[in-house]
Structure 1
Amino acid sequence: MYKILLTIAFVGFHLSYAQQASLTVERIMRDPKWIGSSPERVHWDINGTLYFTWNPEAEEAASLYRVTAADRTPRKINPRKEQGIIDQYTYDKTRRRAVFERHGDIYLYELKTGQEVRLTNTVLRESNPQFSSDGKHIIFQQGDNLFQLGLEQYDWVQLSNFTRNGRTRGEPSENLSPQNQWLQDDQLELFNVLTQRNRKDSIRRARQQEIDVRGLKQLEIGDDILSMQQLSPNRRYITYRLTQRAEGNKNTIVPNYVTESGYTEDIPARTKVGSALPVSRTFVYDRQRDTVYRVDTKTIPGIRDLPDFWDDYPTRKRELQEENKDRQVTIGQVNWNEAGTAACVVVTAADNKDRWIMRLNPENGSLHLIDRQRDEAWIAGPGIGGSWGGGNIGWIDEETIYFQSEASGYSHLYTANVHTGQRQQLTHGNWEVSNLQLSADKSHFFFTGNAKHPGITHFYSIPVKGGTATQLTSMDGGNEVTLSPDEKWLAIRYSYSNKPWELYLQENKPGANAEKITASLTDEFNAYAWREPEVISFKNRFGDDVYARLYQPDKPKRGRPAVIFVHGAGYLQNVHYWWSQYYREYMFHNLLVDLGYTVLDIDYTGSAGYGRDHRTGIYRHMGGKDLSDHVDGANLLAEKYGVNPENIGIYGGSYGGFITLMAMFNEPEVFAAGAALRSVTDWAHYNHGYTSNILNEPTTDPIAYKRSSPIYFAEGLTGHLLMCHGMVDVNVHFQDIVRLSQRLIELGKDNWELAVYPVEDHGFLEPSSWTDEYKRILKLFEERLNN
């Protein structure tokens, strides 16, 4: 009898285990804590202790943990002790001292003794502390102005005197009328918080008056936005930027219907592409000569060059040629060498076609070319920045800078002499450099690269003079490395295709063992045999290599259907050997394969990780090569993998939703069904920063917008379309899908449906919303891909 009971219990255990291991939409789309909590926000403090946020106990919120090289067991940190962690700091030249900001005050830290000295204690915030080149002073910012604090006498010296319409910011305005004075006095009497703030302002003004500003030139900024105030290392020059606000723009509004108040509330949102841009100018204040002058951009080589797209608009091109105006440009942060004898800046064109690296002559504000990168599509790529920022740039010695460029077709590392312009390319090949940093002794660089395979990243070092790069990590997959302050240790966040991120610790030596620090996955997650998708490549119709993830079922479903997934963001990589940020979709693909579907996930033209040509292949035609790559992928499935070409579906979110719409409207004979999630339907209604890079502006390049926006092709819908959208989406507005719905109604289409999610933004948060959305997607494919 005992043996019978034991056998029944054993069988029951395995039946329960099998049931637990099977996938459902409800199981996949629960709170992600059921998977486990991977370590995040990995950083070192100044003493070489490694910190990270983690939630192995599935609590309401993650906690801070720490490990050291000596004690590698994760220890939870008391939240009250977190404020003492120093993780953002600046060294002096000797690397024996560091300066940092904590709660708006400046502190000095002695690394050898661990002694911490508070240098400021004011009601205002002091920020951006730096050592002077001689190490005897701390330079910092308080309000708009720069100050100098001596480390021997602890004397304060104000270095700049920025004024707004003749007044230092924070000074009281002109005398109030009796009525307005009464209102102000009444407010102060009623509200204690205002009284306290008024007292603090009085204290601040009194302390400000103790600092002698006599003889300091007033630097008038008017109504402009002041930014990038910076003192040269030799303390002679102050550089700064003034930005004039754009006028005449209209911001969008996103209505929020499900609110605590019970009333519809408006969420202020962004402008749309083509809105007026702010205009900035950069200035130099020579403290020695007590004079201010603007940095001169008129001599920048090619500043009047017109982009090639104007060839499609010959009349307007002739008008622009006759006007012969300088293009609008923006000057980034001034980068000084240690001695303060030379400076360089990154200048970017507002039309996104040029990036210049220029040497700045601070004596007269003139600019001299070091490197120009022009792209008739748009400037971008890892470490380059383009319109998004200045990218990686810094000094190796007093005459040599380093930077990244796509001049070879891939983002690589270069050095250049700032006086002669002589360049040297340090890394080479059909792969990309990212996360670049110079070693503390400036003898070599550290960087992440995908040299081994486009979908595998490793951490490397290379001498600053050039040579062979040394691979420091050894686990194939995704390696996100954070280097310790003494550069002896690598904190590695590592994952593989079917294994989420974990934290490892490794000595900074090639071939060293990487020790696993965290174990984050739950037993429930590990109970299922998650597939490792096959990474394949195929030639598209243009002869380009396109990479894809392929999931194949052991027992294909009747009708041999397939689903193609389109990742979002456009410029993003999802075909790789590390854990996907689309982890819900990855799990859903495992479910589809369990049900007998073949699944293909393509890094289409425009995706990251494959160099400049792949990145810019969608210029002026989104829904062109990126869409045809999916059509070619569908043909591959039919020709090579036995898929029924009549039963192919497609789905994706954001940019993936946009491609899904273009596929359903323009390739109806290829795709029988599609699910478009949070989709852009008309690029003229998206934001400026992203869209103007790829399509220019609607008023200057309407051809690009008309051939790239799904709303103009809706009449082509013949298959079955599901659209899903969050109603409080402040990225791709709900208005997008409403406009397309009206278009489909007017066209008399009846083979579509719209599911709305009243409380969801662009990225869904509620498990119930994820579950509802993906149950609808699965239902669509189950009903429409089984011929």
Structure 2
Amino acid sequence: MNKLLIAVFFATSIAAFAQKQITVEDFTTKNTFPQKTVRGINWMKDGKFYSTLENNKVVKYDITTSKPVEILVDGSTLSPQIDIQGYMFSGDEKKLLLQTSFENIYRRSFTANYFVYDLTTKTVRQLSAHGKQSYAAFSPDGSKVAFVRENNLYYVTLSDMQEVQVTTDGKFNHIINGTTDWVYEEEFSFVDGFYWSPDNKKLAYYRFDESAVREYNLQRWGKTLYPTDYRFKYPKAGEANSTIEIWIYDLASQQKVKADIGTEKDIYIPRVKWTANGNTLSVRRLNRLQNNLDILHINASTGAATLVLNEKSNTYIDLEFTDDLLYLADGKQFIYTSERDGFKHLYLYSIEGTLLHQITSGSFEVAQFVGLDEKNKTVYYTSTEVSPLEKQFYSISLDGKKKVKLSQAAGVHNINMSTGFQFYIDYYTTATRPTAVSLYKTKDNALLKVLESNDELARILDDYGFVAKEFFSLKAADGTPLDGYMLKPKNFDAGKQYPVLVYQYSGPGSQNVNNTWGGGHFFFHQMLVQKGYIVAVIDSRGTGARGEKFKKVTYKQLGKYELEDLIAGAKFLATLEYVDDSRIGIWGWSYGGYMSSLAMTKGGDAFKMGIAVAPVTNWRFYDTIYTERYLQTPQLNAGGYDDNSPTTYADKLQGNFLLIHGTGDDNVHFQNSVVLQDALINAGKQFESFYYPDKHHSIQGAKTKCHLYTMMLNYIQENL
């Protein structure tokens, strides 16, 4: 061997030896790859300061220097000492509401203890001594705090700490006041169901009667001699929902007025908010099929309703996506988002509901409505105008003119603007770099300071040989272009053939393929790449960022087009010379688990191996709001539920299949996996399954996650 070859051999060996190997522990029980960020930013009124929670202290920072100027409160020095887990300013910034003893219920719901800290007197008082509270919130003038306890609504007058009970009929699994039922919490994404009027005089609140909703029974195994039952109201597709009412309580008279939301009871009220007028409440009303939306203005004194805006769709109105509704301070106009022209855009209406004009337009989506600077009549937003894979930051005048692109670098920008819109923080990431957090001055768009660069993480990633995403495109069966990316081994050799694992989520409006660092199960995928696999991520039709037509093609037939596209993806990958076409696998979680289950059954032999974690296996088992939005009810569209159910095609299972679920999953019930297992057994199909006792949909816990990823790694190495 000549000296040159020897040198090359040793250099290669040293490089290979120097690259650290990723272990499951690195991203489960350890924190080897910490991506830092700037959390808990609370912009202060004067626009010159912000505050954050760090080391049990609420610290005030100067915006221009990003240096701390004052410790507003230190939980460890209070009497009693408080482990501050969250905080909120009163409107005049003279008081702080401190949250501690936080305890989760479901995904968003919780109980906690709250304390009120007076920044002037430096004194702290417990909000209530009668049991834990939920969702405590100051009145606009800071004189009162409202909260929910055990399904009833209360408020406390801070001058004398007198507690007033607004409702008395709250009862678990029957009546809910001031917060939401399970399905609203999960699918409409909120739990704080009460709202102070801007003049501090009234409280509007939700009342749910869930008496007619059927219960779902979770067995909790724990370590007791007998398991315990936990029953909660969960409306499955086609079943009865809660009956919703909106009430308005007048603090002075202690009288309540019921809002007139119509005679039809089988509806949703997904959003409630006050207008700038303290006597006008805005209520959004959806029909059960979620293809007809009304905006109602309620007279808070009488409960009378005025229909302001109506929007209809041939498919569904995606309120989770088009959620923005901003009432201007002058009380004369509001901004509303809609997909009415095929893409999500911003529209300006008069307070009476007359469309004045469209603010943004074009073949792209408004991704984030950042805010409106009313003084300068300037709207701020991010959009996909440059590419569906990116989010860029823009300003535009309220009349839809003078559009300016504020962000410059390619990638994804998420924006947090200060009170008064003088400054903004840009959370910026690309496929090759973790998130950088930077502070800008809005007026001249000048960078003031990088608050977090994540340079240390970048060095760690380099030590471990992390590889960058390589984007690719393929075509669906109908010619529609689809986006994807690959992670290839560091020492990739195009002359070799590699096994490929496809990861996908595929759910309506989701997006896994974009110009960002990381993504779902990213460290697990990087570990697989180190072990000689290619990981490919594909966004099928039905996913987001590419307009209404692309997203809503799956309407009434979830799974059909997504499966076609994943099979097209497998066929595309099989044509690549460096892919071993006999070793293509697929996996996913939740909706992705549904699709990997469907791919291994109805999908024929497209994939050699599949893993499904917490999958829906028939949409009849899932909740009303999510499922019926996309499929209508089972009574109206039985085929849409059964024609693309993995249980329907259990006898067609091919390849190696691993099914995983947590028995305590309150979202996608363990029932889904039990029914699929039963169908596979009856069909004489061999497969493997594993359950995690009492674990939720995320299969929580560092040690549990370590076990899960280790099991999946072993299964992939043995079967793909």
Describe the superposition over 1:492-524 as per-residue Cα deviations: whole angstroms up to 9, x where unpaired.
333222433343222224552363333544554
| Corresponding residue of 1:34 | 32
Pairing partner for 1:426 from 359, 367, 385: 359
Describe the superposition over 1:291-350 as per-residue Cα deviations: whole angstroms up to 9, x where unpaired.
876443449xxxxxxxxxxxxxxxxxxxxxxxxx77534374242224x47553322223
Contact 2:421 2:442 in 1 (8 A): yes
Shift of 1:601: 0.6
Supply the distance in 2 between the matched residues of 1:666 and 1:263 (Cα, whole angstroms): 40
Shift of 1:471: 2.8
Go from structure 1 to structure 2 and tell me whether the alpha carbon gap of 1:645 and 1:72 turns closer, same or farther (over 3 Å shift): same
Supply the distance in 2 between the matched residues of 1:590 and 1:470 (Cα, whole angstroms): 38
Question: SS state of the match for residue 679, structure 1?
Answer: coil
Contact 2:506 2:562 in 1 (8 A): no
Pairing partner for 1:225 from 168, 177, 188: 177
Q: 1:556-595 to 2 correspondence within 5 Å?
A: 559-567=497-505, 571-582=509-520, 585-595=521-531
Pairing partner for 2:468 from 516, 532, 546: 532
Go from structure 1 to structure 2 and tell me whether the alpha carbon gap of 1:68 and 1:19 turns closer, same or farther (over 3 Å shift): farther
Contact 1:246 1:276 in 2 (8 A): no
- Amino acid paired to 2:570: A
Larger helix fraction of residues: 1
1:296 aligns with 2:305: no
1:753 aligns with 2:718: no
What TM-score do the two structures reach when normalised by structure 1?
A: 0.72
Question: SS state of the match for residue 34, structure 1?
Answer: coil
1:280 aligns with 2:244: yes
1:647 aligns with 2:610: no
Supply the distance in 1 between the matched residues of 2:56 and 2:572 (Cα, whole angstroms): 44
Supply the distance in 1 between the matched residues of 2:83 and 2:708 (Cα, whole angstroms): 41
Q: 1:435-584 to 2 correspondence within 5 Å?
A: 435-439=369-373, 441=375, 443-509=377-443, 511-513=445-447, 515-518=449-452, 520=454, 521-522=456-457, 524-552=460-488, 554-555=492-493, 559-567=497-505, 571-582=509-520
| Corresponding residue of 1:741 | 677
Supply the distance in 2 between the matched residues of 1:155 and 1:728 (Cα, whole angstroms): 43
Pairing partner for 1:397 from 305, 327, 330: 330
Supply the distance in 2 between the matched residues of 1:774 and 1:395 (Cα, whole angstroms): 49
Describe the superposition over 1:82-104 as per-residue Cα deviations: whole angstroms up to 9, x where unpaired.
98999634647xxxx77764576
Pairing partner for 1:660 from 571, 587, 596: 596
1:377 aligns with 2:318: no
Shift of 1:147: 8.6
Describe the superposition over 1:19-60 as per-residue Cα deviations: whole angstroms up to 9, x where unpaired.
352435546544351112422533135275445578xxxxxx
Describe the superposition over 1:59-113 as per-residue Cα deviations: whole angstroms up to 9, x where unpaired.
xx99988754454468998653798999634647xxxx7776457677888xxxx
Question: SS state of the match for residue 505, structure 1?
Answer: strand
| Corresponding residue of 2:267 | 328
Describe the superposition over 1:159-190 as per-residue Cα deviations: whole angstroms up to 9, x where unpaired.
x995648xxx99xxxxxxxxxxxxxxxxxxxx
Go from structure 1 to structure 2 and tell me whether the alpha carbon gap of 1:76 and 1:100 turns closer, same or farther (over 3 Å shift): closer
Go from structure 1 to structure 2 and tell me whether the alpha carbon gap of 1:724 and 1:13 turns closer, same or farther (over 3 Å shift): farther
| Corresponding residue of 2:216 | 251
Go from structure 1 to structure 2 and tell me whether the alpha carbon gap of 1:37 and 1:589 turns closer, same or farther (over 3 Å shift): closer
Contact 2:175 2:211 in 1 (8 A): no
Supply the distance in 2 between the matched residues of 1:598 and 1:684 (Cα, whole angstroms): 35
Shift of 1:641: 5.9
Describe the superposition over 1:390-419 as per-residue Cα deviations: whole angstroms up to 9, x where unpaired.
x43322522111111111222211110122
| Corresponding residue of 1:413 | 346
Supply the distance in 1 between the matched residues of 2:69 and 2:14 (Cα, whole angstroms): 35
Contact 2:504 2:538 in 1 (8 A): yes
Supply the distance in 2 between the matched residues of 1:614 and 1:547 (Cα, whole angstroms): 12
| Corresponding residue of 1:354 | 292
Shift of 1:714: 0.7
- Amino acid paired to 2:408: S
Supply the distance in 2 between the matched residues of 1:603 and 1:380 (Cα, whole angstroms): 19
Shift of 1:575: 0.6
Shift of 1:358: 2.7
Contact 2:127 2:156 in 1 (8 A): no
Question: SS state of the match for residue 402, structure 2?
Answer: coil
Supply the distance in 1 between the matched residues of 2:538 and 2:49 (Cα, whole angstroms): 40
Go from structure 1 to structure 2 and tell me whether the alpha carbon gap of 1:443 and 1:116 turns closer, same or farther (over 3 Å shift): farther
Supply the distance in 1 between the matched residues of 2:709 and 2:196 (Cα, whole angstroms): 55
Shift of 1:710: 0.9
- Amino acid paired to 2:138: P
Go from structure 1 to structure 2 and tell me whether the alpha carbon gap of 1:695 and 1:25 turns closer, same or farther (over 3 Å shift): farther
Go from structure 1 to structure 2 and tell me whether the alpha carbon gap of 1:276 and 1:69 turns closer, same or farther (over 3 Å shift): same
Question: SS state of the match for residue 241, structure 2?
Answer: coil
Describe the superposition over 1:558-608 as per-residue Cα deviations: whole angstroms up to 9, x where unpaired.
5543221113765422111112341xx333434444555443211222323
Aligned-residue sequence identity (percent) comes to 20
Supply the distance in 2 between the matched residues of 1:589 and 1:120 (Cα, whole angstroms): 49
Contact 2:473 2:483 in 1 (8 A): yes
Q: 1:146-225 to 2 correspondence within 5 Å?
A: 162=166, 164=168, 225=177
- Amino acid paired to 2:244: S
1:129 aligns with 2:138: yes
Supply the distance in 2 between the matched residues of 1:587 and 1:223 (Cα, whole angstroms): 44
| Corresponding residue of 1:198 | none
| Corresponding residue of 2:6 | none
- Report how many residues are paired: 661
Shift of 1:656: 1.2
- Amino acid paired to 1:405: S
Shift of 1:777: 4.0
Go from structure 1 to structure 2 and tell me whether the alpha carbon gap of 1:105 and 1:267 turns closer, same or farther (over 3 Å shift): closer
| Corresponding residue of 1:684 | 620
Structure 1 portions without partners, runs of 5+: 1-10, 55-60, 110-114, 171-221, 300-324, 386-390
Contact 2:272 2:281 in 1 (8 A): no
Contact 1:412 1:428 in 2 (8 A): yes
What TM-score do the two structures reach when normalised by structure 2?
A: 0.78
Supply the distance in 1 between the matched residues of 2:147 and 2:710 (Cα, whole angstroms): 54
Larger strand fraction of residues: 2
Go from structure 1 to structure 2 and tell me whether the alpha carbon gap of 1:588 and 1:526 turns closer, same or farther (over 3 Å shift): same
- Amino acid paired to 2:468: E
| Corresponding residue of 1:173 | none
1:762 aligns with 2:701: no
Shift of 1:485: 3.0
- Amino acid paired to 2:414: E
- Amino acid paired to 1:88: M
Go from structure 1 to structure 2 and tell me whether the alpha carbon gap of 1:423 and 1:593 turns closer, same or farther (over 3 Å shift): same
Choose 511-520 or 281-290, whichever is displaced more: 281-290
Shift of 1:683: 2.2
Shift of 1:715: 0.8
- Amino acid paired to 1:244: D
Question: SS state of the match for residue 452, structure 2?
Answer: coil
Supply the distance in 2 between the matched residues of 1:675 and 1:84 (Cα, whole angstroms): 40
Shift of 1:252: 2.2
Structure 2 portions without partners, runs of 5+: 1-8, 100-113, 180-192
- Amino acid paired to 2:391: T
